[in-house]
Amino acid sequence: MKDLKPLFDNIDITRRPMVIAGPCSAETEQQVLDTAMALAANGVKIFRAGVWKPRTKPGGFEGVGVEALAWLRRVKETTGMLVATEVATKAHVDAAIDHGIDLLWIGARTSANPFAMQEVADAIAARDCDIPVLVKNPVNPDLELWIGALERLYNAGIHRLGAIHRGFSAYGKHLYRNMPQWHIPIELRRRVANLPVLNDPSHIGGKRELIASISQQALDMGFDGFIIESHCDPDQAWSDKGQQVTPEVLDFILSTLVIRDSTSTTESLQQLRKQIDNLDNELLEILNKRMRVACEIGQYKKEHRMPVVQAGRYDDLMSLRVKQAQEMGMSPDFMRKVLSAIHEESVRRQLEILNRL
Ligand code: PEP
Ligand code: MN
């Protein structure tokens, strides 16, 4: 993707961070205009609203559809903001462009589907209108699929491209709605030079309380900006209400962010510390997963009247891992301490299960 063009000629996105904000979904004309006017008054230049909503199960609110595109046109007329919406089919693309939408984004479920991506790429190219397109990461953590989606657009002649990091699905309950897996967008930026990458803290966190900290992490890692869900009355939102903030709260969050000088010499230290924080997060997730498996083993042992500690198994595990650690350059003593602490906690949890009535 050698000839990428800037998203817009008249907006300087090198002045970080670029901000796209607006509700998850366009619900009513009033809600759209109230939200847009408040955002515009706070200096937001690009408004987002979902018109067609991909829902996990049928029966949920699937978006207002074409009718809402006229509301977005009114946003443009009354506030001067640019407007953005999600497209997933040729019909969406045509309707959005017919209604003067300025920027399109491809959702995470669509970017995971090469057939849909090709259809959308061909439909946009056929309109020959040089519209910018942002591609969210696919729901599954697959960098090649993400790059493939961008390439389908690029090869169709769409060169105003950007990416949105919205996190990746994981099974079970986690702190995040979608795991950030920061190394994936970082690798994307390494692989595709000059591609603007925005962060979507709303869909990563799934909770409004997490927006500020995720955004700061993204800024610290050099992301170009954000797409953040903002609603004039978040608690009454028809979709994703837990992760939306009022325009006022959004303004406050943005005002707290520290934009680091990317030329300063401490930048690399900050990046390294962020890497450590991210690795610690992963370490905790893995430890937690290991504890859960240990509990399942505890349950099995209880049902089969087996003793909790089987010395042979522990000795084998210890010597195997200590040797492995040594080969990797870590001290055997350190590995023994780590493993025995983990083992001690597993045993304690298994004993708890055994003693439960
Ligand atoms: C959205 O932006 O409201 C949306 C549906 O996002 P995603 O595709 O990231 O789930
Ligand atoms: Mn949403």
Tell me the domain boundaries of the chain.
18-256, 267-354
| Close Cβ partners of 115 (under 8 Å, ≥ 6 residues apart) | none
267-354 has which fold? Answer: Chorismate Mutase Domain, subunit A (1.20.59)
Residue 309: the pLDDT is: 83
Residue 262: the pLDDT is: 60
Residue 263: the pLDDT is: 58
According to DSSP, the β-strands at 103-106 and 197-199 are unpaired
Q: Are 21 and 50 in contact (CB under 8 A)?
A: no
Q: Would the CB of 23 count as within 6 Å of ligand 1?
A: no
Q: Would the CB of 166 count as within 6 Å of ligand 1?
A: yes
Q: What tokens were used for 297?
A: 């083993």
Q: Would the CB of 24 count as within 6 Å of ligand 1?
A: yes
Which of 62, 203, 214, 227 for a ligand 1 pocket mutation test, highest count of atoms within 8 Å of Cβ? 203
Which one of the ligands is nearest to 107 CA?
1
Which of 86, 146, 214 for a ligand 1 pocket mutation test, highest count of atoms within 8 Å of Cβ? 86
Closest atom of ligand 1 relative to the 166 alpha carbon? 9
Q: Would the CB of 108 count as within 6 Å of ligand 1?
A: yes
Architecture of domain 18-256: Alpha-Beta Barrel (3.20)
Q: Would the CB of 136 count as within 6 Å of ligand 1?
A: yes
- Measured by CA distance, the residue closest to atom 10 of ligand 1 is 108
Q: Would the CB of 165 count as within 6 Å of ligand 1?
A: no
Q: What is the chain's pLDDT, residue by residue, as a tens digit (357 residues)?
A: 999 999 999 876 556 699 999 999 999 999 999 999 999 999 999 999 999 999 988 989 999 999 999 999 999 999 999 999 999 999 999 999 999 999 999 999 999 999 999 999 999 999 999 999 999 999 999 999 999 999 999 999 999 999 999 999 999 999 999 999 999 999 999 999 999 999 999 999 999 999 999 999 999 999 999 999 999 999 999 999 999 999 999 999 999 999 876 655 567 788 888 889 999 999 999 999 999 999 999 999 899 988 888 888 889 999 999 999 998 889 999 999 999 999 999 999 989 998 987
Q: Would the CB of 26 count as within 6 Å of ligand 1?
A: no
Closest atom of ligand 1 relative to the 110 alpha carbon? 8
List pLDDT tens digits, range 174-215: 999 999 999 999 999 999 999 999 999 999 999 999 999 999
- Measured by CA distance, the residue closest to atom 3 of ligand 1 is 24
- Measured by CA distance, the residue closest to atom 4 of ligand 1 is 107
> Which among 195, 150, 178, 144 is positioned nearest to 4, based on CA atoms?
195
Give the C-alpha separation, 339 to 15, whole Å. Answer: 48
Kindly state the percentage of the chain with pLDDT values over 70. Answer: 97
List pLDDT tens digits, range 78-115: 999 999 999 999 999 999 999 999 999 999 999 999 99
Q: Examine domains 18-256 and 267-354 and report if their fold is the same.
A: no
Closest atom of ligand 1 relative to the 53 alpha carbon? 5
